[in-house]
Amino acid sequence: ELVSNGTYQDLPDRGISKETCELYQYQTGEVYNRPSHIEHYYSNNEIVAQKIRILPKQFVWKGNKYSVDFFGQHLYKEQKRLIITEGAIDAMSIAQVLKDYDTTLVISLKEGAGQGKTIREFEQKLSFLESFEHIILCFDKDKAGETSFREVVNMFRPGLIHVVDFNKKDANEYLKVDGGEELFKEILNSSRYKPECIHAPSLISLKTPKPFGLSLPFPILNETIRG
């Protein structure tokens, strides 16, 4: 059975307000007689599962986790921009800083990052993800986050994915430091993802003629393509 004794309150150690917790259906309470955080997950506009974080960091699920939406997807109102984080705390951190739910939806993965995890979640919700005009991936700056990013970035049409170059481990680290001022700037400065194999040429390289290749028996073609 789902936990029913959770309450909404500020998360002072995370810098997250009670208002944000209520919006995202994120509660605190006791589970198995231990202080816990309770994330609610929807399917067809109905809460069907909970991810329980037994503090400090033990996770258990209640309900049916296999068919649920992303955490925070219940706030979808045909927004044009989507931000995806690894976990609920980071999603709420960004949402609290942006406070613009009409144009931007902030969600998180249900299982976090790691090899094979994220790509399975994305495949299940691919049509939903591709309905957006702009997706920003805000994964953690660690091995798991980098692995998930490499696995999913090529699933989407060119130009759809944008990235944030975090200087800290994750979004919540920014929120705890200055209330999110720097995080807000980082989100605004997100850039369109460009594969590492694509390089912008320098002016010098453009002006430097390439060596003439093997001559062809067609003068005009030979001159045009330089052998």
Q: Is the pLDDT of residue 51 over 80?
A: yes
pLDDT level of residue 178 (50, 70, 90 thresholds): confident
34-38, 125-129, 205-209: the lowest-pLDDT one: 205-209
Q: Is the pLDDT of residue 210 over 90?
A: no
Share of the chain above pLDDT 70, in %: 99
Q: Is the pLDDT of residue 196 over 90?
A: no
Report pLDDT for 47. Answer: 96
At 55-90, the pLDDT tens digits run 998 999 999 999 899 999 999 999 999 999 999 999
Q: What is the pTM of this model?
A: 0.84
**Mean pLDDT score of the chain:** 92
Report pLDDT for 125. Answer: 94
Q: Is the pLDDT of residue 11 over 80?
A: yes
Report pLDDT for 55. Answer: 94
pLDDT level of residue 50 (50, 70, 90 thresholds): very high
At 133-177, the pLDDT tens digits run 999 999 998 899 999 999 999 899 989 999 998 888 899 999 998
**Residues in contact with 59: Cβ distance below 8 Å, sequence separation at least 6, in sequence order:** 51, 52, 53
Q: How far is 89 from 62, CA to CA, in rounded Å?
A: 19
DSSP 60-94: EEEE--TT---BTGGG-SS-SEEEEESSHHHHHHH
Q: Is the pLDDT of residue 101 over 70?
A: no
Share of the chain above pLDDT 90, in %: 75
pLDDT level of residue 36 (50, 70, 90 thresholds): very high
DSSP 110-124: SS-SSTTHHHHHHHH
**Cis bond upstream, residue 56 (ω within 30):** yes
pLDDT level of residue 114 (50, 70, 90 thresholds): confident
Report pLDDT for 214. Answer: 93
